[in-house]
Structures are given as structure tokens and as C-alpha cells.
Amino acid sequence: MNKPIPGIRFENGEALIALWSPTCNNAAILINQTEKLSLYKVDFGYWALNTRAIKPGDTYQFLLDDTPYPDPASLSQPDGVNGPSKALDLGPYQWKDRNWSNPPLEDYIIYELHTGTFTPQGTFDGIADKLDYLKELGITAIEIMPVAQFPGERNWGYDGVYPYAVQNSYGGAEGLMELVDACHQKGIAVILDVVYNHLGPEGNYFASYGPYFTDKYHTPWGNAINFDDAWCDEVRHYFIENALMWFRDFHIDALRLDAVHAIKDLSPKHILQELKERTPKGHHLIIEFDLNDSRFIDPIKKGGFGMDAQWIDEFHHALRVTAGGGQDGYYADFNGIVHLAKSYNSAYVYDGIYSPHRLKTFGIPAQDNPGNQFVVFSQNHDQVGNRMLGERSSMLFSFEMQKLMAAAVMVSPFIPMLFMGEEWSAQEPFLYFVSHSDPDLIKAVRKGRKAEFAAFHQDGEAPDPQAKETFEQSKLDWQRIDYTMIDYYKNLIALRKQFPALYQLNRKLVTTTINESDQTLLLERGDPHQNISCLMNFSGERHQTGVLSKLFDSADQRWNGPGSLKGYIQPQSIIIYTNHV
């Protein structure tokens, strides 16, 4: 049996309706609150109907044993997560990106953004208005935090409950299509953050349809998705078809899969491997993952799951501690410059060594995985937003240290990622915010946030996640741009693109030398013809060097630094220079 695509899609004016609900006795569709049509039962728990009675733009609900529910594969929820679904035909959109070709991962310079807070509009149109700015900055790919329909108008996106529906307050499906089209015309790839490890609590009717969840496992956010228990075949089909929809109908170039360590699957073929096998050539799968297990990114032919790349939080942790950040919570596992050097060399810091924070030996080596399989950053939505007060690096580190941290990412043998606003040292926090309507859920979220900060020994109260002011505080203020810092980032990105030793992510041509007493790290990147040396000084003292000719010095006065000195490296700065082989 060729399994149907869940939901409603249109072919030649006819609606093809497919619903999976193996536990109900009868199913029907209610169109525009007036017309009821029965669905007929087919194999594997599906109900189906082909009809011309429903048109694009009509609202509908499915009736399960006469109880109305939104479509779990809804493409649009114009009245929110509890309202009727809206039928959409995605086919008529006229794409203008026929000449677009998704670049290889090693060419990605990623810019992570949140649609609701990136611009004053908080919409896809607002992002489109900033594409020229991002292009001039040197960005080659934007990563959009989740857009699946969530409750209300304020959310990070990880409480989405309709994986197929694009958030209505952002601009809906057509708005996302127009944004992707515009990005491609500017030469910018689009990564979409998707959540396949859980579904949000409010508006979640999935258990009423069937066994989408399993009691075998638990996640920090609620019921685990059923990827390996009874009836799991159709749940797997539901999520794989969702991924394929983003590639096929929205021209998304890559997916960032949220926290795949929380996807529990003991099937002979892991859901991630199955997804990789179904992903069209030319598209990328990037995972957020904290198990330090290279099996997830190893090729399928070598026994891996075949994911194309993963985020490396450990690089971030080591960098922040080296820069002078605190060692509370999970940062306690990181000792600073020694671990930063190890991450440059090994990607994973914990690669089979004992972790004091976890109280166990953790990780395995990833020496055979190329540099284009690792995404690094000095900040991201989690590392900023999961601080109690949502402080960015600009609020925690000196101006000179911010420049050094940015360069430490950009000269790495990995894929660099920026978090929106860091390139101008934005002062606005990025806080955690929601707009739930259930009072008990709001209370639980507030309680959970307070408990989360206990590990970091932080006193006081976190800003109220439910308050609109918390969301408004998190919006970037484009009137407060620091053009000096933007110029710094532009030059840094341009330098990376200019030299093969920097943009070719050959981990075998990477060496590091550290001086713990001076808090300096020399990173050397090579290609067959030229070496690029990057000397970083994380201390508050000036140190003498033998470097006379510099390609780049973050202390240069053009970037409001103390000034470049021949034969010296200034405090909290980086010097980049070249040696021909």
C-alpha cells in the first residue's frame, strides 16, 4: 500500500483527504460548520475521501465518533490551536527560484533568528526586508526557529502542536513561501528548525486520534513520540512526510532537528536513518544533539544514522569559560582554554573521558568526521534565552572579548553560526516567552522556569514568560545598531571566505598550541599552499609575539580597539596572520 500524505491536498480541483485514527469507530469531516461528509476506512487505521465539496479557504474539522477536532496535519489554523483547520492548496504558488542550488554545508555561514523578535513586525515579511542587510554582512544561510502553529502569538516555537501548519501570526504558509523564494533570489539558503521529539501541551489532541505517544519513554517536555511501539509505522510516516513537505512544497534547504537525543527509538532502523534515506538529494539534515555519539552523524554505509551535521554545544561552553564566564551548572565540566583547544582539534571535548558534572565517562571520539559536520557558535537562542535574565554576550563580556569570541568561532574548522543581533552587540535580552490560555499551564511554566535555574544557583525571579512585556523586551532594536561591530563582523566573515585555509574545513590540517599561564591559544589552519595562524589572547594582559605582519587584528582602532602594536598582542584580542608553505 502506498500510504497517503496526511491531511488535505488538492489535485485538479479535487480534495484528497487522509486521516489516521485507528482507534475510532467512525470518522467524518465537517466543512464550514455546516456540511458533514463521512470518511471511509482503509488499511492501517486510515480514513480517506476524495471530494470536490471542500475548496481551498474552507474551514473544517474532523469528527471522531461525532466529536470535532482540528486536523493533526492541518496546514493552517487561522483561529489558533483550538479552532477549526483551514484547507490550503500549496500547488499554485509561482516560485521564482528555479536557478537556485543549495550550497554545500561547508559554505554555510548561518544566522539564527526568531521570526517574532527579529524585526518590529515580527513576521516573515519583516525578515524579507532585512535580506539585503544579511547578504551584505556575509550570511549564506538563515536558520529560522520553529514556525509550527503554537498557542497565541508569542512563543519560541518549541510548543508547536501542528507540525504541518505555519504560524498564522507570522504570515502563514504563503508568507513562508515568499520568504524562502526571496532568500534564494538573494543567494541565501534557508534552514528551518523542526521539533520531532515532542508536541506542545495546549491544543494537543493527538492522543484522541490514536497512539501518537508511548509510555515506554519520557521526555523533559511531556509524552514521548511513538517511534517504536505498537502502531509506530504510521507515526513515523506522519513525521517523515512532514519533513518531505518542507523540502517539496516550501523549498526549504535544510532542517535543524531539535534535541534528537530526546527521540527514543530502538527500532532496527532508527527514525533518523529512515528520514535520511527519504530526504531528497541536495538537502541537509542538521541535529541538535548532546550525546557525543558520532554514530548519529556517521554515514549509513558505515553503520550510522547519516545526519549531515550537528550543533556542538561543548565548543560554546569551553569558549565561554575561557572568556571568563562562570562555571556553574553544566559549565562546571569545562576548564577553559585547554578544553577550547581540544574542541578545535576533536570537536567533542568529552570523547570517552570522565565527566564530573554527569558523574560518568561520556562520549566517543569523532576524529573521522569532517569539519562540515559540526556547527559552532558563541551564543544561540538556548544559551542566551535559558539564562534567567536572557543576557546576551554583550551584557556579560567586554567589547574586546566579544570581538575575540566572534573570531574564535569564525576561524574554527567548523560551520560558524551567529545569533541574531550579536553582530552589532545588541543590548536587548532574549527571554523565554509564551502566550498560553490555560491558567494551570501558565502556572506550570512559571514554576518550571524557576526550577530550571536552581542548578545555576540564581536567586530572584525570572521575568514572567506569559507577560507580553517579556516578549517585547526581547525584540531587537534596529535603531541602536553599532556599525563599528557590524563592520568588524563583515571583515571577519570576508576573511574567512577569502582564504582556503579557513573556508576549507579540513580537520587534519589543524593544530593548536596553548600557554595556560598567558591564557593564549595559537590555532593553525592549513591548506597545501598556505597556513593561516590565529593567535588568541584571552587574558587581560598584553603579550609579546614574533608576529610582525598581520592580516587581521581585532585590537585595531578602526573597530574601537586599543590599537594594533607590532610585536605584541593586546589583551582580549586575536591576531590572524599567514605563512606560505
Query: Would you please indicate which residues are annotated as catalytic (active-site) residues?
Result: 258, 288
Alpha-carbon distance values, 187 to 134, 135, 173, 365, 417 (Å): 11, 8, 21, 35, 17
A 10 A CB-CB count for 563 gives: 10
> What whole-number distance in Å separates Cα of residue 89 and Cα of residue 56?
6
> What whole-number distance in Å separates Cα of residue 120 and Cα of residue 170?
12
Q: Residue 37's beta-bridge partner residues?
A: 29
Spatial CA neighbour of 198 closest among 251, 249, 270, 150 = 150
Give the contacts of 459 (CB within 8 A, at least 6 positions apart): none
Angle between helices 232-250 and 172-185 (to 10 degrees): 50
Give the contacts of 62 (CB within 8 A, at least 6 positions apart): 19, 21, 27, 28, 29, 30, 68, 69, 70, 71
User: Dihedral angle at the C-alpha atoms of 153, 154, 156, 161, nearest 10 degrees?
Assistant: -40
> What whole-number distance in Å separates Cα of residue 76 and Cα of residue 84?
9
Grid cell locating 219? 521526555
- DSSP codes of every residue in 476-496: --GGG--HHHHHHHHHHHHHH
8 A C-beta contact, residue 109 and residue 187: no
> What whole-number distance in Å separates Cα of residue 339 and Cα of residue 268?
36
Buried b or exposed e, range 500-530, using 16+ CB within 10 angstroms? ebbbbbbbebbebebeeeebbbbbbbbbeee
> What whole-number distance in Å separates Cα of residue 524 and Cα of residue 577?
10
Q: Which residue in the block uniquely carries the three cell numbers 471530494?
A: 51
